Structure 1
Amino acid sequence: MILKPFRLAVLGLSTLTLLACNTHNSATTTLPEAVVQQLPQKNTGPVSVKGSCQQREVDGYGDKIKLEVEKNDVKALDWTAQPHGSACRFELKNFTQTSNQPIADLQSKKDKKCHVYIWQDDDHVTVAVYACKKLCRSNDKILPVLLDPKTGNCQPKKSG
């Protein structure tokens, strides 16, 4: 399936980006220059999207997400990721938004190392988790969700 390698590539980029993020109690997260250079060159700016989608890969991996973001302020998040026989749920009520620049950063109230990051480039809105192993045993198997920034639907599969 063409989408899975694309999602894995985004996961790799996300992991590099998120490893370098310095989370603190300010409205801005500073990314190191090496990470900034790896981010998409064309960024459409703050995320503003209202979306809902459900998808399942041929290998059984699935996502169900409802998301509402206005200018990087997360208003709603309910995401269930189903990596290969398990399920992990991320709800806004269990997170605190610690940053909205350059990306939306949600920190778990139960595990301060766990974050959900949301950002946008020209092609899609990305929702990704980082370091949530205490909340979800399958954390290392969770792929980012890619949403169409115009419709809020799951990103269409690329043909090719």
Structure 2
Amino acid sequence: MWAQCRYILLVVTALVLGGCQAVNVLSKASHKISRPVNIDGYCSQTDEAGYRDQIKISVKNNTVQALDWTASPKQGTCRFQLNDFTQIATRPTADLQSKTDRRCHVLVWQDRDHITVAANGCQSSCPASDQLLPVLLDSQTGGCKPR
């Protein structure tokens, strides 16, 4: 009986460790380092639910040089302007931190064929921030890319 319990425990341990190893390999394979962002972009879009975005952004080698983003979900309007932020990182993403609320960040990064601009933790400056959607910009044209 004891031998069977040890065998079962050994098998379960091997499965758990093997599963962790598989998850580790998958997460490493799926994690991609973002490429440097270089864009002069403008996008104005409204989706079928009435959500509106208008953004003008200029980024050179992950350094944000201009940003004026107005997002209008159903519950209000949020505006993010470069003057209200300090860039605290350029790698792996451009990270802008609000000068008045250190929890509020605007992040910019590039994936395969689009550039993403997203806000995070901005509840104090934007009551509708939990409804904000990231803006996707075409990396070639700088225009809107469908979500």
Q: For the superposition of Structure 1 and Structure 2, which TM-score range results when normalised by the shorter chain? A: 0.7 to 0.9
Q: Which residue is equivalent to 1:134?
A: 124
Q: Which has the higher strand share?
A: 2
Distance of aligned partners of 1:42 and 1:134 in 2 relative to their CA distance in 1, 3 Å threshold: closer
Q: Rg bigger for which structure?
A: 2
How many angstroms does 1:36 deviate by?
Answer: 6.8
Secondary structure at the counterpart of residue 96 of structure 1: strand
- Asked if structure 1 preserves the Cα contact closer than 8 Å seen for 2:41 and 2:143, the reply is yes
1:68 to 2:55 alignment: no
- Asked if structure 2 preserves the Cα contact closer than 8 Å seen for 1:53 and 1:66, the reply is yes
Amino acid at match of 1:66: K
- Asked if structure 1 preserves the Cα contact closer than 8 Å seen for 2:33 and 2:92, the reply is no
Unaligned runs of 5+ in 1: 1-33
Q: Which has the higher helix share?
A: 2
Amino acid at match of 1:90: F
Cα separation, 1, equivalents of 2:40 and 2:78:
21
The size of the alignment, in residue pairs, is 123
1:116-160 deviations in Å (ceiling 9; x for gaps): 000001120000000000000001000000000010000046xxx
Distance of aligned partners of 1:134 and 1:102 in 2 relative to their CA distance in 1, 3 Å threshold: same
Q: Which residue is equivalent to 1:82?
A: 72
Give the % identical residues.
Answer: 48
Q: Which residue is equivalent to 2:4?
A: none
- Asked if structure 2 preserves the Cα contact closer than 8 Å seen for 1:117 and 1:129, the reply is yes
Secondary structure at the counterpart of residue 143 of structure 1: coil
Cα separation, 2, equivalents of 1:113 and 1:74:
19
Cα separation, 2, equivalents of 1:135 and 1:36:
35
Secondary structure at the counterpart of residue 59 of structure 2: strand
Cα separation, 2, equivalents of 1:65 and 1:127:
9
Q: Which residue is equivalent to 1:52?
A: 42
Cα separation, 2, equivalents of 1:122 and 1:133:
30
1:150 to 2:140 alignment: yes
Moved over 4 A (4+): 34-39
Unaligned runs of 5+ in 2: 1-25
Cα separation, 1, equivalents of 2:74 and 2:84:
24
**TM-score under structure 2 normalisation?**
0.78
Q: Larger relative CO (CA 8 A, sep 6+): 1 or 2?
A: 1
